[in-house]
Structure 1
Amino acid sequence: MPARVHSRSGASPRTRPSPSQPPRSLVEVWPALAGLSAVFLFEMLDNSILTVALPTIGRELSASTTTLQWVTGAYSVVFGGLMLALGALADRAGRRKIMLLGLVLLGVASLATMFVTVAWQLIAVRAVMGVAAAMTTPGSLALTFRLFTNDGLRVRATTLISTVGLVGLAIGPTVGGLVLTFAPWQALLLVNVPVAALAFIGIRAGIPADDPADLHHDPIDLAGAVLGTTTIVLALLAPTLFIEAGTASALPWVATAAALILGTCFVIREKTARHPLLDLTLIARPLVSSGLALKAATGLATAGLSYLVTLQLQLDLGWTPAQAAIGMLPQVIVLIAGGALISPLITRVGLTTAARLSASTVVCGLAVYTALGGFGYVWIALALVLVATGMRVVGVVAGNNVMRGLPDNRTTIGAALIDTASEVTTGIGIALSGTILATLLPNALTTATWSAQQTAEFREAITYAGLALTLLSATLVGWGIVRGPHPKNDTPAPSTPDATAA
């Protein structure tokens, strides 16, 4: 089909299914949405479905606990570290092209699982899959944004795609457990092959190739790419090192200091480079800086709260792991079903106000947990619902706001920034909570039977950890609100009747 480009500058064409009629409903571009949904499904399903197989993998490959952590960690570190560099490459070489190459790489790496015989081979496969994820995930938001000119349809499409992914996240452990009853653990990674094939077919058929005039033509800043990637990798490793080695060890502090030093060097490089990897003036734009701050706040809050609640249900309330999993259901239900709230809310108050309200709801949920979580499960469930509700809306709205604030030829690196902010703050949320508990309760988390005093100390530590998460999230949300644009005249154009029907 012919393509058309819409540019805020009024210049270059943007990829569209029709030169004269942009899509009026999601149905008109269903192959593309099916492919993009499959990409996000892979991201959400991958680690969640693999987690239940770690004990089996450990036995069959004779892997230690540390080695098993790298089975999942190698993927996350490579994925988070390469998103900015590969996002910049996609804005130059073509978003669709890089995504299709990434899907091929994903399929090949998943097939390679069949030949794994030792743990290091599986870690290598997971690292390659992290590269594939970094090539595909940012592009899913960038291509979704480019499919439509109408903000209402963009939100509806993003909501649909994220809902598919969240369903995968929710059912991943259950499906993985069922598969392991009749199939080897390799089957859990082989499921990526049909997912990658579906995504490849949908994107290949439903999204035209990028118009060369719509791409970014400056050379890639290799020094900036190395500095940025190394900084993010260290930022992702440091939280894990704090939990594993403890605050008394020098290793996590060295990693943190190195991340700060290299991050400073990256900023200096990007400010002085003729063709920076990441133009920092773009991040300073109100929509971009605000959206990233709100997205970071929700990633921090959701990860930290989930970590604390999982421990509290088992160590304080005495629930079994299975009961604790059921206790997390309010969060899962809201994350999946909450998508129905997004379009009505945005239609009523606009994108900017919706982002502010939902991010503030996340902070309120953390405050409820910190102040009242010790008084029983009802308050814990309420906190889970509030944080999940806010996170569900921010996940769609903040992402769209960032994309709206960027030039047309920077959309993929913008999407990579969103994912990187969420990935890094997720690690920080878990590390912050874990470090506070480990500091106030040394060795207590591994003790089978607690005294009344230890239980009281645990509850106090949970309160301090919740307070730290609340204050840090509130700071990010406050910054996002201050930096954001005024919500006046922000309500997106209403969808057509066909779009509503979709």
Structure 2
Amino acid sequence: MSYTYEKRWAGLGALCVAMSIITLDNTVLDVALPSISNDLKASMSELQWIVDIYILFFASILITIGALGDQFGRKRFLKIGIVLFSLASLGAGLSTSTIELILFRSLSGFGAAFIMPSTLSIITHMFTDPDERMKAIGLWSMIFGLSQGLGPLIGGFIIEYTSWHWVFFINLPIGVIAFVYASWVLPESHNKSAKADLVGMVLCVIFLFALTYGIIEAGVKSWSDPAVHISLSIGLIVCALFILLERRCSYAMIPFELFEKRTFTIPSFAIALIVFGMVGSMFFFSQLFQTVEGYNAFEAGLLLMPMTLGVAIGAKFSSNGVKRYGAPLIIGGGIIISALGMAIFVVTMDVHMPLWSILVGFLVQGLGMGFAMPPSTDSIMGSIPKAKAGVGSALNDTTIELSAAMSIAILGSYVNRIYLLHVKEIEADPTLLKALQTSIQAAHQAITALPDVSLHENLLNLVDHAFIDGMYHTMILGCILSVLSGILTLWLLPKNA
């Protein structure tokens, strides 16, 4: 115990390094999406799958992996995950087609499922004092936000001076450092009585993939398409079966009794909404900055940096804010502050957005996230018995990842549908029209390749405004949902959360 206690802060550092390769990976990729689309001729739906396949594998198995980590050793599973993630990143960097890239991204998600649940469960094991645990989780949340925020800047630098392949290769040295650091400083911990719900895991994979496929295809085709109906129906039926079996299983991957605690359910919902807004913003704004507004990858990364600064500031003052004003006000207020950032985008959204609105909008959105995430995470982990720390941590991580996956699927489908409705009204030959409908990147490539230069400006203006209109309606939706959710959090979350 003394070994664990004396090295607990060094151990936190090892966990943060391990966790950073996961959070960096997704946000670094966001800036690389336009380059990947141009190089591999990826459509909008393929870009969604490149991001979502990783998240879905991660989210659908990590609760079961968390239980297995509890049973066989959390440190051991963390190290296995680092190795798997690093090897998958190598494969992704060497990919020459979207199919290969999607395959290796799914393997990355498998490795990430070993890493993420181990981090919070080990923190809970090492930090037994509630005040220290809150500080530790606050630091963990700050590093989580910082690594996500630094991702676009690092990705932009890599794209500007090398190629998109290197956004995956960058994970290799970080993985080596994390493996060595974790091996040296982290204690091993177990819960021998933990059992893994493998049947639940299989059902979870099936219903999540079916729902996501249906949502993404609805953006390409329509909600009335038979394939969309079949996919969504399968997803909902399997989801119902999953819930039915989980409620009867003595070692279910999702202990539904936790949802009876408002100190668990409300913060989980808050985190889901925060991540939903953040992931959606980065996915679309990266494409807007580079493809529509003409910024290079590094400049696009810089424009996303104020979100990182806002998260860092919010996370730093979040703990003191909870002690002074209570968790409901800080969490609910943080969500509403995040909505104000989106409101700035709503009123200034244009092909040439003013620089001040981009910087201030992301700063305010990040500030709200930074306020809300640490107390939400602490409330969730504090609601869970220590013996179920791995499962509880995995539930928290699943909330984050599922909201990220649904953000890409739902918002991506929504934006793509509006974009396609506008593009279909453009009068052009079938070959050009097909290219315009593929993605905003493919549209720009096809238009600039036209021999008649006089057509360029008008066609670019039409496709750019089609993309902007989709983003505009998405921001309105996100803003309304955030305000309502913030009010509900203030009302429903107990003051002693």
Residue 348 of structure 1, aligned match among 321, 324, 327: 324
| 2:156/2:300 contact within 8 Å kept | no
Deviation at 1:297, TM superposition (A): 1.5
Which residue of the partner structure matches residue 199 of structure 1?
A: 178
The structure-2 alpha-carbon separation of the partners of 1:472 and 1:44, relative to structure 1 and needing over 3 Å to count, comes to same
Which residue of the partner structure matches residue 27 of structure 2?
A: 48
Q: Does 1:361 align with 2:370?
A: no
Deviation at 1:135, TM superposition (A): 0.8
Residue 276 of structure 1, aligned match among 222, 232, 252: 252
Length-normalised TM-score, structure 2:
0.78
Residue 458 of structure 2, aligned match among 449, 455, 464: 449
Residue 389 of structure 2, aligned match among 386, 391, 411: 411
What SS does structure 2 have at the residue aligned with 1:210? coil
Deviation at 1:382, TM superposition (A): 4.0
Deviation at 1:284, TM superposition (A): 1.9
Deviation at 1:292, TM superposition (A): 0.6
Residue 196 of structure 2, aligned match among 217, 220, 230: 220
Which residue of the partner structure matches residue 242 of structure 2?
A: 266
Deviation at 1:424, TM superposition (A): 2.4
One-letter amino acid of the structure 1 residue matched with residue 130 of structure 2: D
| 2:15/2:182 contact within 8 Å kept | yes
Deviation at 1:34, TM superposition (A): 2.3
Which residue of the partner structure matches residue 422 of structure 1?
A: 400
Deviation at 1:265, TM superposition (A): 1.5
Which residue of the partner structure matches residue 398 of structure 1?
A: 376
The structure-2 alpha-carbon separation of the partners of 1:275 and 1:327, relative to structure 1 and needing over 3 Å to count, comes to closer
| Distance in 1 separating the partners of 2:177 and 2:416 | 44
Residue 293 of structure 2, aligned match among 316, 319, 323: 319
After TM superposition, list the pairs within 5 Å mapping 1:169-188 onto structure 2: 169-176=148-155, 178-179=157-158, 187-188=166-167
The structure-2 alpha-carbon separation of the partners of 1:230 and 1:147, relative to structure 1 and needing over 3 Å to count, comes to same
Deviation at 1:483, TM superposition (A): 4.1
Which residue of the partner structure matches residue 452 of structure 2?
A: none
One-letter amino acid of the structure 2 residue matched with residue 210 of structure 1: S
Which residue of the partner structure matches residue 500 of structure 1?
A: none
- Alignment deviations for residues 59-101 of structure 1 (CA, whole Å, 9 cap, x no partner): 98x6754766654443222122222221232233332222122
Deviation at 1:355, TM superposition (A): 1.8
What SS does structure 2 have at the residue aligned with 1:276? coil
Which residue of the partner structure matches residue 132 of structure 2?
A: 153
Compute the RMSD of aligned alpha carbons: 3.9
Deviation at 1:185, TM superposition (A): 5.9
Which residue of the partner structure matches residue 266 of structure 2?
A: 290
Residue 128 of structure 1, aligned match among 95, 104, 107: 107
What SS does structure 2 have at the residue aligned with 1:321? coil
The structure-2 alpha-carbon separation of the partners of 1:249 and 1:332, relative to structure 1 and needing over 3 Å to count, comes to farther
Which residue of the partner structure matches residue 499 of structure 1?
A: none
What SS does structure 1 have at the residue aligned with 2:458? coil
The structure-2 alpha-carbon separation of the partners of 1:389 and 1:64, relative to structure 1 and needing over 3 Å to count, comes to closer
| 1:285/1:405 contact within 8 Å kept | yes
| 1:240/1:431 contact within 8 Å kept | yes
Length-normalised TM-score, structure 1:
0.77
| 2:268/2:399 contact within 8 Å kept | yes
Deviation at 1:288, TM superposition (A): 0.9
Deviation at 1:406, TM superposition (A): 0.7
Deviation at 1:268, TM superposition (A): 1.1
- Alignment deviations for residues 228-252 of structure 1 (CA, whole Å, 9 cap, x no partner): 2322333444443333445454444
What SS does structure 2 have at the residue aligned with 1:449? helix
Percent pairwise identity:
20
After TM superposition, list the pairs within 5 Å mapping 1:210-249 onto structure 2: 210-211=189-190, 215=191, 217=193, 219-247=195-223, 249=225
Which residue of the partner structure matches residue 8 of structure 2?
A: 29
Which residue of the partner structure matches residue 17 of structure 1?
A: 4
Report which stretch shifted further, 354-363 or 264-273: 354-363
| Distance in 2 separating the partners of 1:436 and 1:192 | 32
Provide structure 2 residue ranges, at least 5 long, that are not aligned to the other structure.
Answer: 424-439, 445-456
One-letter amino acid of the structure 1 residue matched with residue 391 of structure 2: I
| Distance in 2 separating the partners of 1:216 and 1:481 | 39
| Distance in 2 separating the partners of 1:382 and 1:223 | 47
Q: Does 1:472 align with 2:481?
A: yes
| Distance in 2 separating the partners of 1:449 and 1:114 | 37
What SS does structure 2 have at the residue aligned with 1:106? helix
Deviation at 1:303, TM superposition (A): 3.2
Deviation at 1:294, TM superposition (A): 0.6
One-letter amino acid of the structure 1 residue matched with residue 175 of structure 2: A
| 1:287/1:401 contact within 8 Å kept | yes
| Distance in 1 separating the partners of 2:177 and 2:194 | 33
| Distance in 2 separating the partners of 1:171 and 1:85 | 30
The structure-2 alpha-carbon separation of the partners of 1:254 and 1:443, relative to structure 1 and needing over 3 Å to count, comes to farther
Report which stretch shifted further, 126-135 or 194-203: 194-203
| Distance in 1 separating the partners of 2:168 and 2:90 | 8
Deviation at 1:368, TM superposition (A): 5.0
The structure-2 alpha-carbon separation of the partners of 1:187 and 1:120, relative to structure 1 and needing over 3 Å to count, comes to same
Deviation at 1:141, TM superposition (A): 1.9
The structure-2 alpha-carbon separation of the partners of 1:118 and 1:356, relative to structure 1 and needing over 3 Å to count, comes to closer
Deviation at 1:133, TM superposition (A): 0.3
Deviation at 1:182, TM superposition (A): 7.2
Whichever structure has more helix as a proportion of its residues is 2
| 1:286/1:405 contact within 8 Å kept | no
Report which stretch shifted further, 134-143 or 63-72: 63-72
What SS does structure 1 have at the residue aligned with 2:4? coil
Which residue of the partner structure matches residue 13 of structure 1?
A: none
What SS does structure 1 have at the residue aligned with 2:78? helix
After TM superposition, list the pairs within 5 Å mapping 1:163-174 onto structure 2: 163-174=142-153
The structure-2 alpha-carbon separation of the partners of 1:121 and 1:309, relative to structure 1 and needing over 3 Å to count, comes to closer
| 2:11/2:182 contact within 8 Å kept | yes
| Distance in 2 separating the partners of 1:432 and 1:219 | 33
What SS does structure 2 have at the residue aligned with 1:17? helix
Provide structure 1 residue ranges, at least 5 long, that are not aligned to the other structure.
Answer: 4-15, 491-502
- Alignment deviations for residues 293-349 of structure 1 (CA, whole Å, 9 cap, x no partner): 11112122223445565677789xx73234665544432332344433223323433
| 1:339/1:393 contact within 8 Å kept | yes
